[in-house]
Structure 1
Amino acid sequence: MESNGSPAPRVRDIDLPLGMNVNTRPKQAGSRRLPPASTVFSALIVVAMLGTATAIATRERPFRFPEPVVVSVPVDATIQAPPEPAGTPTAPSAAGPSIIRAETPNTPPPSVTIIRDPSQTVQDQRVAHLPDRSLIEESPDGPLPKRAENGRRPFDTYARPWSGARGAKIALVIGGLGVSQTGTQDAIAKLPPEVTLAFASGGNSLSRWMQAARQAGHELVLQVPLEPFDYPTVDPGRGTLTVDATASENIANLHSVLGRMTNYVGLVNYMGARFVADADALKPLMAELGTRGLMYLDDGTSARSETEAVSQAHGVPFAAADTQIDGTRERGEILKKLDELERTARAQGQAVGIGSAFDTTVDAVASWVAEAKKRGIEIVPISAVARDPERR
């Protein structure tokens, strides 16, 4: 028996049962040791890892990057402009289609796969407001359209894509843009992108309005002033091409018109009843358009026009309007003309209507187009209905 305050007697191995020693003897009750802290921490890590794996396995879409988006971009859509930020599509190699990965904001790269198709020539609509430098000839009159070295035309590149489907289709061209700033802004904002816009060569801020129109999805043509029968009493404006001028004088005036803006597929006459009836006067004009790869649209107001025959002889894509939709500037009459266009399109497969950017015309066209689409009419750009000698 131990006395209070005296140390416990030392236990010797010889005094313990056989097979025991001091280190293996039973521990007293209440003195059990806890497992080491490192063991507990390891167990917690295992549990956390199992929990995370279970959560990932049970998610419908685990922690993954977004699915790549495939966008078809034409081979010649690359704009030769100042260097673009990282991720901007670059020109493909001559070996064939190339896949370019482009980063988009707030998503882990790569998130977009862009495929270039060398068989296409239409400009990428994301940069449709920028001029293609390979299609520009710098001149004292400004940037003139021209064919690229590989023969690609502005008519090809600046055309608005369409479905290519069979069925009734209508091209609508609304002109006079660039004259009234408010009217131009309203027309660009209100008219559906399938409607082609014609800019007056004598308008203001044409480059700015061109960019706005192209960003809104419109195909563009440029109005060229041609001599009417009562010229100069009725004057189409600066740079008018006339029957009595020499070929070089008319080409000089034509260049002053062509340099006013860029990104258009061709020209449409502004007035010009006398000029379009004279084949000899037309030939230098059409030869220049054919060389530069532009189309010609006849507004259909002259029964004596020689533009179709002369344009085809010079390899110029050609279209002619079937109806002037706003000869009477009243909503009901405009809608009647548009209905006539629909009947023509159903009977012949296609039709072309032309008008001016009056408020009444713009509002009537915008509402009529929405209804025509529901009836199965496809509204197409003017390039879609042009007869192209190079695509026979």
Structure 2
Amino acid sequence: MAAVLLIAGAGAGLYFAGDRVSEQLHLWLASSGGGDLAAVPQPRTATPSADPSALTEMPALATTAGATPESWPDLSPADLLAQTAALGERSLKDTAFDQPPWRRFARPFTAPEGRPRLGLLVTGLGIDRAVTAAAIAGLPPDVSLSFDPYAADLADWIAAARAFGHEALVDLPLQSKDKHALGASGLLIGLNADETARRIGAITDSAPSVLGFAGAGGDALLLDDTAAGMVTDEIARLGLAFIDASGEPMSLALPAAKQSDLAAARGDVILDARPSRTAITERLAAAAEVAQEQGRALAVARATPVTITVLADWLRRLDDRGPVPAPASALLQR
């Protein structure tokens, strides 16, 4: 049931293999002439849900001139879950109930002998329904997906992701140097331990069946040893994992995680620091090189149309000489 990206001339569209899930999901580069496009469509959260049969009745847009990301089907989690009968054994099952959540809700994975691992994580999902549906239904299940904690229907998006075989995480909003708004559950330098725990708990309660958190921002908070320690202590107490996606080279996340006995990993390569097709492709190649040299690497990107199309295309072209795509949980360390 793996997703592939088909390119016709300058057009690109995600297609699905399977008995029922067999139509195109979207087109991104139809009119770009193969150039770099970094524009991201505005989130579509208020429009009516598409018909539940949309996954099997999508129009063939691969050669439609002028198609844009706004052409993507606006699907809800229920629309995706309605199609899961066609997925057979792809749906992710929980492991033993006596395991901590970071083990219980992880996707099982075993790397072939001698092959390096390349973990893949897409964050920021759930706000734009079409982009989220594309990631869930269009990317291979070994790509891990992390959801915005303020997304509508958060629990249902997580259920849909797991039904399509993806392990799920939830974004943890952390104070950044750019001081962007974090929302009511955002974690700031200077919060005490009780308030830190309350905010983390509020997110956890709204996000069932996740294996842990992916840091959203954090290039400020993760430089503060007290704040980083409080965050990792609380996540460890809950039995969850933490992935540092900040891209901050001086981040204290891993040292703090070790002190807290927390299962954690750090993004080795941020794929979309420059959000263009060429730049993301180059960063994927760099991530593969890191994996080949070190035996493992974790690549992280936020969910945008260009990220999803480039990632799907790159994975389709990956052969057995490259690293093995792996869920983010396969890169966790304690």
State the TM-score, normalizing by the size of structure 1.
Answer: 0.59
Q: Which residue of 2 aligns with 1:222?
A: 170
Pairs within 5 Å for 1:1-392: 128=92, 148=98, 152-165=99-112, 166-231=114-179, 234-388=180-334
- Contact persistence 2:265–2:331 (CA under 8 A): yes
Q: Which residue of 2 aligns with 1:121?
A: none
Which secondary structure does the structure 2 equivalent of 1:221 belong to? Answer: strand
Which secondary structure does the structure 1 equivalent of 2:185 belong to? Answer: coil
Q: Residue 383 of structure 1: CA displacement? A: 1.0
Structure 1 counterpart of 2:216, which letter?
Y
* Deviations 1:108-135, CA, capped at 9 Å, x for gaps: xxxxxxxxxxxxxxxxx77737798x5x
- Contact persistence 2:155–2:208 (CA under 8 A): yes
CA distance in 1, matches of 2:219, 2:246: 10
CA distance in 2, matches of 1:340, 1:278: 29
Q: Residue 374 of structure 1: CA displacement? A: 4.1
1:179/1:131 Cα in 2 relative to 1: closer, same or farther (>3 Å)? farther
* Deviations 1:221-273, CA, capped at 9 Å, x for gaps: 11111112343xx2122311111221111111111111121111111111122
Q: Residue 185 of structure 1: CA displacement? A: 0.7
- Contact persistence 2:171–2:213 (CA under 8 A): yes
- Contact persistence 1:129–1:210 (CA under 8 A): no
Which secondary structure does the structure 2 equivalent of 1:210 belong to? Answer: helix
CA distance in 1, matches of 2:234, 2:302: 27
- Contact persistence 1:282–1:307 (CA under 8 A): yes
- Contact persistence 2:95–2:103 (CA under 8 A): no
Structure 2 counterpart of 1:273, which letter?
D
- Contact persistence 2:213–2:242 (CA under 8 A): yes
CA distance in 2, matches of 1:375, 1:383: 23
CA distance in 2, matches of 1:126, 1:366: 18
CA distance in 2, matches of 1:197, 1:298: 14
CA distance in 1, matches of 2:94, 2:124: 22
State the TM-score, normalizing by the size of structure 2.
Answer: 0.69
Q: Residue 377 of structure 1: CA displacement? A: 2.2
Greater Cα shift, 277-286 or 361-370: 277-286
The alignment-based identity, stated in percent, is 25
Which secondary structure does the structure 2 equivalent of 1:273 belong to? Answer: coil
Q: Residue 308 of structure 1: CA displacement? A: 0.6
CA distance in 1, matches of 2:201, 2:131: 27
CA distance in 2, matches of 1:301, 1:356: 12
Structure 1 counterpart of 2:172, which letter?
V
Q: Residue 181 of structure 1: CA displacement? A: 1.1
CA distance in 1, matches of 2:145, 2:133: 12
CA distance in 2, matches of 1:378, 1:229: 34
Structure 1 counterpart of 2:150, which letter?
G
CA distance in 2, matches of 1:130, 1:153: 11
- Contact persistence 1:129–1:263 (CA under 8 A): no
Higher relative contact order (CA 8 A, sep 6+): 2
- Contact persistence 1:178–1:209 (CA under 8 A): yes
1:377/1:131 Cα in 2 relative to 1: closer, same or farther (>3 Å)? closer
Structure 2 gaps, min length 5:
1-88
CA distance in 2, matches of 1:169, 1:326: 20
1:153/1:288 Cα in 2 relative to 1: closer, same or farther (>3 Å)? same
CA distance in 1, matches of 2:250, 2:287: 22
* Deviations 1:333-381, CA, capped at 9 Å, x for gaps: 1111101111111111111111011111101101111222443421011
CA distance in 2, matches of 1:283, 1:346: 32
Structure 2 counterpart of 1:181, which letter?
R
Structure 2 counterpart of 1:275, which letter?
L
CA distance in 1, matches of 2:276, 2:303: 13
CA distance in 2, matches of 1:298, 1:328: 19
CA distance in 1, matches of 2:287, 2:207: 30
Structure 1 counterpart of 2:92, which letter?
A
